[in-house]
Structure 1
Amino acid sequence: MDEAIDTAMRLFHARGYDAVGVAELGAELGIKPPSFYAAFGSKAGLFERALRRYAAGEANIFARAQADGGGVAEVIERTLRLAARLYPERGGVAGCLVLDGARNSADPEARALTAALRAASVSALREFIAGEEPERAGALAEFVMIAMMGMSAAARDGADEAALTAFAEMAGRAFRRELAAEG
């Protein structure tokens, strides 16, 4: 089961939810459609498991940045720099599965799954930022999320680590200025 979820995660991340079909998933996993549906319920069910595995692992950039400690500005800057390092294409995969895996998907369930994880990420950012700037934590958290979404999309469009790092550094400085500004 773990191997199946990892395989699905790689496929969804590389090509997006809509571009990966049940037949392809079954072939990659070595199972027929009835077994696929018995194991996962639906393609969206497997996507949800893949998203949760992805978000709980090394791809949780903000949690990794937080683990090294520091103040809000330092952690956010570290988050952006880490995204710049991880988002460029490696082995046919670029960007963030949570941010881009269901972008423009025709499937409302897939879009809802990624939207829920993005909302949880914004909430975690807001809660962390509120420790230093409670009045503007929501707007600052949205700033960070929009920056991360842009970086992920740019990586999927071919931006390399140097370009993303330059952006991350500028966004980090802008965040620091905003954090210091009077509301």
Structure 2
Amino acid sequence: MTTSLKSGSKPGRGRPRAFDPEAGLAVGQRMFHAAGYDAVGLSALTTELGITPPSFYTAFGSKAAFFQRVLERYANTELALADILLPHRPASEALADLLERAARTYAHDPERTGCLVLEAARGHSECESAVLARQVAERRRAQIRAFVAKTHPRRADAATDYVATVMSGLSGSAREGMSAARLVKVAKAAGVGLAALLG
């Protein structure tokens, strides 16, 4: 592991450099995406972050709270909806773009395939990590629904369900090893169907 979590100027003798929480979230995102929430223990996290468990709790509160922040970070950096669902774009064009970007994103890293949020959301209904992931997923669906409703209010629910279902399928197929090229073909075909749905 070469990621440095330290920041700031050179400290004085005997004083450690400050821990960088944002860098810590990036490391956690990589770990959770590669192995899943349950497989990443606190000991592995703190070792990788280079801090003690008490320092981890001080910085993040708990493993679940840390995971929640990781999910939010992922949602705001990977396939950020604010960068895709732009007001001037036709709904069918923007959503087709979202699907194609998802296809490429979900398959680009062989150690982190699929969507961190959607794959975590597949967990047991009472699993804390799954509950947290579903909350993030639902907020993203609400953003898509609101975007579509501006121009196609009667079809917003159906279009949102369509997009959510296709993205879930793309994520699951990426986890199973489907290549980016094949996923993009699926996404393009789904985009045609979406255009027909929106009329």
Q: Does 1:13 align with 2:53?
A: no
Q: Does 1:26 align with 2:40?
A: no
Q: Which stretch has the larger CA shift, 16-25 or 61-70?
A: 61-70
Which residue identity does 2:139 align to in structure 1? A
Cα distance in structure 2, aligned partners of 1:106 and 1:28: 29
Does structure 2 retain, via aligned residues, the 8 Å contact 1:126–1:138?
yes
**CA positional deviation for 1:106:** 7.9
Cα distance in structure 2, aligned partners of 1:23 and 1:158: 30
| Structure index of larger Rg | 2
Question: Structure 1 residues 130 and 90 mapped into 2: Cα distance closer, same or farther (>3 Å)?
Answer: same
Q: Does 1:171 align with 2:190?
A: yes
Q: Which stretch has the larger CA shift, 165-174 or 104-113?
A: 104-113
Deviations 1:94-140, CA, capped at 9 Å, x for gaps: 11111113532586321121111111111111111112211121121
What TM-score, normalized by structure 2, do the two folds share?
0.83
Which residue identity does 1:101 align to in structure 2? A
Q: Which stretch has the larger CA shift, 163-172 or 32-41?
A: 32-41
Cα distance in structure 2, aligned partners of 1:83 and 1:137: 20
Q: Does 1:82 align with 2:96?
A: no
Question: Structure 1 residues 69 and 10 mapped into 2: Cα distance closer, same or farther (>3 Å)?
Answer: farther
Q: Which stretch has the larger CA shift, 99-108 or 29-38?
A: 99-108
How many residue pairs align between the two structures? 179
**CA positional deviation for 1:19:** 1.2
Cα distance in structure 2, aligned partners of 1:4 and 1:16: 17
Cα distance in structure 1, aligned partners of 2:87 and 2:181: 23
Kindly indicate whether structure 1 or structure 2 has the higher relative contact order, using CA contacts under 8 Å at least 6 residues apart: 1
Question: Counterparts of 1:88-167 in structure 2 under 5 Å?
Answer: 88-90=107-109, 92-104=111-123, 108-167=127-186
**CA positional deviation for 1:91:** 5.1
Deviations 1:57-76, CA, capped at 9 Å, x for gaps: 1x134333224942011111
Deviations 1:28-64, CA, capped at 9 Å, x for gaps: 011222222222211101101111111111x134333
Indicate the RMSD between aligned Cα atoms, in angstroms: 1.8
What TM-score, normalized by structure 1, do the two folds share?
0.90
